[in-house]
Amino acid sequence: MAKTKEPQQAPPERPAPLAPFVGQPSIVEYFRRVGPDDLAQAYFFWGQRGVGKLTFAKILAMTLHCERPSSFPLGYCGECGPCLRAVAGSSGDTIVISDEFIREADRLAGKSIERKTDVMGIETARRIISLMEMHSYEGGRMVCIVPNFDFVTNDLVYNALLKELEEPKPGKLFLLTAERPDRVLPTIRSRTTSLRFDALAESDIAKALVEHHGVPADRAKLLARRAQGSLGDALAALEGEGLSLYESSRDWALACIGAPKRIPQTPPLSRENARTEIVEVLRGARLAVRDALTLALGSHDRLLDAEAARSSREAVERLGSDAARRLVNGLTAINEASRIADETNIPPASVLGWLQVQLRSI
């Protein structure tokens, strides 16, 4: 009897590649000149959110471990074993500090895994140190990527990692990222090479949206303008993440200023992510008031959010001849609310309550 052929198994699905890195020519040129063999032991990448700090750190690590890089620092091949393992998140040589990493560090230390916080504690720092002591799996160097380092507030974490940075060992590389460098202790910053990631050009954001995400050119241009230099914010709006919160904060701010006798509903904040969400609320409020002020000053072609032009125009009409002064006062109040949210432990809901009173009384 003829043997029946066994059905062939489909090849395993290849992991999706990393998102492309956009802009930042000065950063790319700096690392090109330094080269892979003369890197410092630690770098501190800082700049506003969504401008590529974490993406660059991951691609830099991949290029360092790649068996056939075409260039440096962004030339990983994407085909060799180290590249495929990195894309799949299973590289033994790159440690990325994520929420899962923090929870696992807590679990290994015997702490409750129900802890909700995503802020690094001493358990995370100790696990980083332990893993960075290991030998490279690929035979190169160990890389540790720590996003949002400006959220670290524990002195024990600072002291533990400071020793690692003060006494660098060959084959170890730390890449720290932050939005607010002033929140990071000077002793940490002084032991790293600090590099600023600038806001992205609108043209770079629009091009990335068109070429890599299939967004129509007109829509990409609108999203790029509203994102104010952040590709991450443009992508979040594209995917609907935080869009309703942004829109509600925009409408809330304009209603507070333009119709103070009506008490609008404060944008909702979740209990778990209130301190992150208030940043988005204040950003939406600031952008809305800024656009209304732009219209009040007669600069109709310089709106950042053209989709909200009608709402901004109606707010200006309600404010009348005193619109510009009142909107400037509104921006001042929003900036003060941002300072309070950044620098104090006042609950975010209380900050919004205070801001609502200020906006309705300007």
What is the domain partition of the chain in residue ranges? 39-196, 200-241, 242-361
Q: pLDDT tens across 180-209, in order? A: 888 888 888 888 999 999 999 989 999 999
Q: Residue 212: what pLDDT?
A: 86
Q: Give the whole-angstrom CA distance, residue 127 versus residue 27.
A: 30
- pLDDT reading at 277 higher than 90: no
Residue 134's nearest CA partner among 99, 93, 167, 175 is 93
Residue 145 has pLDDT above 90, yes or no: yes
158 versus 247: the higher-pLDDT residue is 158
Residue 173: exposure state from Cβ atoms within 10 A (0-12, 13-18, ≥19): buried
* H or E, element range at 101: helix 99-108
Q: Which residue, among 46, 32, 324, has the nearest Cα to 195 in the 3D structure? A: 46
CATH number, domain 39-196, options 1.10.1380.10, 3.30.70.1230, 3.40.50.300, 3.40.50.720: 3.40.50.300
pTM exceeding the 0.85 threshold for the entire prediction: no
The DSSP symbol for 72 reads T
Question: Quick one: which H or E segment has residue 282?
Answer: helix 274-296
Q: What is the pLDDT of residues 289-347, one digit of tens each?
A: 888 888 888 876 677 777 677 778 888 888 888 888 889 999 999 999 988 988 888 88
- Nearest-angstrom CA–CA distance, 166 and 146: 17
Between CA 49 and CA 178 the distance in angstroms is 8
- Given a cut of 80, is residue 238 above it in pLDDT? no
Ranking 6-15, 26-35, 93-102, 346-355 by mean pLDDT, the lowest is: 6-15
Min mean pLDDT across 106-115, 191-200, 268-277, 343-352 is at 106-115
What pairing do the DSSP bridges indicate for beta strands 193-196 and 94-96?
A: unpaired
* pLDDT attached to residue 243: 56
What is the predicted pLDDT for the residue at 12?
Answer: 45
**77 — phi, psi (to 5°)?**
-80, -30
Could you give the CA distance from residue 111 to residue 245 in angstroms, rounded to a whole number? Answer: 34
Strand partners, 96: 145
How would you class 328 by CB atoms within 10 Å of its CB: exposed for 0-12, middle for 13-18, buried for 19 or more?
middle
Q: How confident is the model at residue 44 (pLDDT cuts 50, 70, 90)?
A: very high
Question: Residues 88-108, buried b or exposed e (16+ Cβ, 10 A)?
Answer: eeebbbbbbbeeebbbebbee
